[in-house]
Amino acid sequence: MLDYADSERTELLVEAASLRRDSVDMFLQRVERVDPSAVDFEMRLLTHPLMQEELGYQEADLAFLDKGDQGWSAVLGRSIALSYSNLRMMRSRQ
């Protein structure tokens, strides 16, 4: 989002969203041990609470940016407030 706020190049948003979604997807495949050949493979990943949380963040980010002129400092403030620098993917220890 910060790169987008600086340049307003939409492809940067698309790339960032794809990378975030793919990271959650790969994490869930590994941790949940989802069989890629399973019939419900995509649905299990899509409906997982962590993926739903990520998709919710992306939707909220787009709504935030759609409000109009969101300068770099506003985007930085949102990124800090929502702890975007922290990964929310944690493996439970057994």
Nearest to residue 8, comparing CAs of 70, 93, 76?
70
Fill in the amino acid letter for 54. Answer: E
* 49 part of a folded domain: yes
For residue 10, tell me if it sits in a domain: yes
For residue 88, is it within any domain? no
Given a contact cutoff of 8 angstroms between Cβ atoms, the answer to whether 4 and 72 are in contact is no
Whether 87 is covered by a domain: the verdict is no
DSSP string, 5-54: HHH--HHHHHHHHHHHHHHHHHHHHHHTT--TTSTTHHHHHHHSHHHHHH
Domain that holds residue 20: 2-81
Specify the pTM. 0.73
Residue 77 lies in a domain: yes
Q: pLDDT, tens digit, for every residue of 34-83?
A: 888 999 999 999 999 999 998 998 888 888 877 766 676 777 787 788 77
Domain count of the chain?
A: 1
